[in-house]
Structure 1
Amino acid sequence: MWLVMLLAFAMPVSIACWLLSLVYTIFNDGTHCVNPWRWLMAAIIPVLVTKWGLKKRSLDKSGAITGLVIGFILTISSLCFCACLLTFFVLASKATKYKSSIKKKFEEDFKEGGQRNWIQVLCNGGIAAQFAVLYMLDSGCTEKVVDFQMWYNSSLFSMAVMGALACSCGDTFASEIGTVFSVNTTPRLITSLRKVPKGTNGGITMIGTLSSGMGGALVGVAYYLTLLLCTSDFQLHKSPAQWLIIPTGALAGLLGSTIDSYLGALFQFSGFDREKKCTVEHPGPNIEFISGTELLDNHSVNLLSALLTGLLTPKIAFYLWQCVV
């Protein structure tokens, strides 16, 4: 019943938005108008996803509201961006809940269900949404192939969007999956390679590093498959090899996780609570110092990592295409 009500509300709203954009395009001598189907998908998909997130307790109410805004921007700008966001959100939610009983033993701020609030949603998806807005302003609301010779700006912004989301997904995989499968492995601090307790900011393992690349690659696969579905065969035939999006996503995941680890090791405080037997992010009388300073928190690190990875991924993609094509 709720789905019927959603369609009954979304369809007239999407048609009204389409008519307004059509009028605006006509009076401003534009050539691109967002079609009603794109408005409809941008209205429905974020609602369905946030409803699922609330039901599975992957989002709280503030996170759901923020997710609606970010989801709308990414969906209306390009379905490829929407696919990347869906892939990150679903897989990251599953990874966070996977064997949560193990993570609870050494994470002081462990939250049952892994619910994300508005700050976490904004830090993980806000940078991608900003790059998506720049993409819309340059290329409109459409899906374009990655071609740095013919469509440099759109290729740059689209790879920045994917890179920011691949960073978030790769970092989540590294911390959540790497933690579970490295139970018998002691992490090492990325800046000095000395052994540190589990949960230390900047602590890395081989499995965690490989997981970050896998997370980024899955975001790249989502982008690539959606592009194949939304682009004509003629356009794909004229363009450079689009499968390079997948290794670009994998490299973005690795890069984002590495940047996150370095920032965490240098600018986040990590200590070991002797009483609770877990790592903490604040000093205290019973806290043994491990690394870092109290300059940034986890949200700030996630935001900066996504921003830096989003800025660097187009460069990676550009040189990757130059080397292979």
Structure 2
Amino acid sequence: MNSKKAIAILITIGCPLLLALFKNNEFNIPIPYVIIGIVVLTLLSLVHKPSTAQLYKEGLSEEEKTVEEVKASQKPPVLYLRSFQADRDIETRFVGNSIQVEETYEYTLTKYFEPIGPLVTLLNKKTTYIGGAKIDNTEENWQEVFHSYAKESTYLIWSWGLSESVLWELKQLLSNEYRHKLIIFFPVEGIPVEVRESYWSNTLGALKQMDVNIDSLPNTIGNSMFIIFPEGRSGEPIDSTPSLLEIIASVGACDLLAISLRRLTDTLGYDVEKGLDSGSKLAVLLLAIGATFIFMMIMFNSANPIWFYLSTVEIFAYGSLLWCLVLISYNWYTTRQYKLRWLKSGIQTSTSIN
């Protein structure tokens, strides 16, 4: 077990014990319970962040496939094409609001397309990140590698960029040979619509200069995450707006209970990928229960015999601890599944992907 995780668990268990110990000290010294609670929760947070990020990264690394495994599988691959210049920009992601991890859009797409086929992408030797299977290539043969995998892939996902090589790829993908497989992908988070439209306009202008026929491409993209080409026809922008529940799920700050829930569903044979919405609802329900519990503790302290021996500050300290644990348990599962479901809703409503 990771040492930082072990320390976090000890602090979590020791917090209520510490409060109880000080409550019954033989010297009857008044203890500022709220301060103790804040200090302990702060220590827990400081230990929890790096340990969770490391465990998260290790878990993602174990899931990454190799090109050999892709070739040995029975499913044709899904080829993901992007600008190498964007790799560093999208490398840092957040699990919840506070825990930084290395999770790229490539990894999210890898998890979504997994039932269809393994995601493969050209290797960028200047960066190391987790995502699809990396295809080794050189400056001399990368175009040959592109055509080789494009012909055998089920889908060809192109993520926007203005480099010469990326535009060359899009030019090939817009040809009749590949267009029926093409999905143009636009990262949405944190990018204003005006910036997206300006970038897309520059892309169209660059393609024109390359004498590419852009009649099949839309002039505007709005908030769309995808452009698809049904049966090779003109591109159709697909809006994919998250629901309020999904937005709530995406701003969590938790991890522990979520992993337990996932392990439990795996043990029971429950298909997590088909129950994303249920998972989000459960996480939000847990938050609501935690908030209600704290409210009841504070409001009915003097009347309810259950809390007769606890002072208001003690209830606040215990309630803060409970709230922290509920939040910690909520992070990893809901945030990650929210992203997957958002992508699913964007493509599934307009393509034959199942």
**TM-score category of the 2 structures, normalised to the smaller one:** under 0.3
More helix by share: 1
Which structure has the larger Rg?
A: 2
TM-score normalised by length of structure 2: 0.25
More strand by share: 2
TM-score normalised by length of structure 1: 0.26
